[in-house]
């Protein structure tokens, strides 16, 4: 049995989104408790951990899709439960793990749906909406796909379009639930490069759930490592990703070296020596 790790974050940026003392569950089944989730403003944060550790549940709570049994979540200092649905949607966008689209809808029409929170009964579609859709398509390299049906696209193209829809919503915070699911390695890298570029160019705060620890280390500024519904460690990847952390969170014995390409932590499993998490 390994001693529990507690690693504090050293990022001193103010939190754009902050969950405090969260207790999360579905009915009588508690999935996570005593969660403290400060999300640094203007950074890319990745939630990592083994299956069923509470990552996606935590993201659902941050997105206001799951009401905490206890605790509070602040968005720019305001309790999200006090915000109207429209005000919340003007500040935060969510791309779920398996989004669905109407049959036959074109890429442009799908991206335009991101502008829904900006519509009012007295203010319908405007040139500003048109500009926002054009910008979102351009930012994701999807302009040439605008008039194609979403059904015709590859997995990588489709994911770029979904991100474009979230961008068209024009929020300061973007949540992504496993954005690389079902994509091959090349398309995973394409999507994460896009996310990193959007963060660098526009300063958006991004929170994403990722399964692949090495990709999380490479593309996130801030990691939150979870196990059994609790935060084990949080902070910059270079400061918290160690062999001890990998073993504590994943039950895996591994070496951690510096990636020769990116300079970020690179986890190399020892193989055949997985231990049970206790």
Residues 20, 36: Cα–Cα separation, whole Å: 5
Burial profile 52-71: b = 16 or more Cβ within 10 angstroms, e = fewer? ebbbbbbbbbbbbebebeeb
Residues 101, 152: Cα–Cα separation, whole Å: 12
Whether the pTM exceeds 0.75: the reply is: yes
> Can you give the residue ranges of every domain in the chain?
1-91+171-236, 101-170
Report pLDDT for 11.
53
Report pLDDT for 132.
94
Report pLDDT for 97.
87
Digit-by-digit pLDDT tens for the chain (278 residues) are 344 455 555 555 667 899 999 999 998 899 999 999 999 999 999 999 999 899 999 999 999 999 999 999 999 999 999 999 999 999 999 999 888 999 999 999 999 999 999 987 666 788 899 999 999 999 999 999 999 999 999 988 999 999 999 999 999 999 999 999 888 999 899 999 999 998 998 899 999 999 999 999 999 999 999 999 999 999 999 999 999 999 999 999 999 999 999 999 999 999 755 665 55
Q: Which residues contact 212 (CB under 8 A, 6 or more apart)?
A: 180, 188
Question: DSSP letters of the chain?
Answer: -PPPP-B-----SPEEEEEEEEEEEETTEEEEEEEEEEEETTSEEEEE-STTSSHHHHHHHHTTSS--SEEEEEETTEEGGGS-HHHHHTTEEEE-SS----TT-BHHHHHHGGGGGG-BTTB-S-HHHHHHHHHHHHHTT-GGGTTSBGGGS-HHHHHHHHHHHHHHT--SEEEEESTTTT--HHHHHHHHHHHHHHHHHH--EEEEE-S-HHHHHHH-SEEEEEETTEEEEEE-HHHH--HHHHHHHH---EEEEE-TTT-SEEEEE-SS------
Asked if 14 and 214 touch (Cβ cutoff 8 Å), the reply is: no
Report pLDDT for 13.
60
Report pLDDT for 8.
52
- State the fold for domain 1-91+171-236: Rossmann fold (3.40.50)
């Amino acid at each position: 049995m390994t001693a529990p790790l507690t690693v504090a974050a050293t990022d001193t940026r103010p939190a754009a989104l902050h969950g405090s003392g969260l207790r999360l569950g579905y009915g009588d089944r508690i999935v996570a408790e005593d969660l403290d989730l400060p999300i640094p403003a203007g950074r890319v944060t990745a939630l990592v951990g083994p299956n069923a550790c509470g990552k996606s549940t935590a993201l659902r709570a941050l997105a206001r899709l799951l009401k905490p049994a206890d605790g509070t979540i602040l968005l720019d200092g305001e309790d999200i439960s006090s915000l109207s649905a429209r005000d919340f949607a003007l500040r935060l966008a969510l791309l779920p793990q398996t989004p669905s689209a109407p049959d036959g809808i074109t890429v442009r029409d799908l991206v335009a749906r991101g502008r829904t929170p900006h519509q009012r009964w007295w203010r319908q579609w405007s040139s500003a909406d048109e500009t926002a859709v054009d910008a979102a398509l351009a930012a994701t390299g999807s302009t040439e796909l605008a008039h194609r049906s979403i059904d015709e696209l590859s997995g990588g193209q489709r994911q770029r379009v979904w991100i474009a829809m979230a961008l068209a919503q024009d929020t300061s915070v973007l949540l992504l639930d496993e954005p690389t699911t079902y994509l091959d390695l090349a398309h995973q890298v394409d999507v994460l490069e896009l996310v990193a570029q959007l963060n660098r160019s526009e300063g958006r705060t991004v929170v994403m759930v990722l399964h692949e620890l090495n990709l999380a280390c490479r593309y996130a500024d801030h990691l939150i490592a979870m196990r059994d519904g609790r935060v084990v460690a949080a902070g910059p990847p270079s400061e918290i990703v160690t062999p001890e952390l990998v073993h504590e969170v994943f039950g895996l014995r591994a070496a951690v070296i510096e990636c020769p390409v990116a300079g970020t932590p690179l986890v190399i499993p020892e193989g055949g020596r997985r231990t049970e998490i206790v």
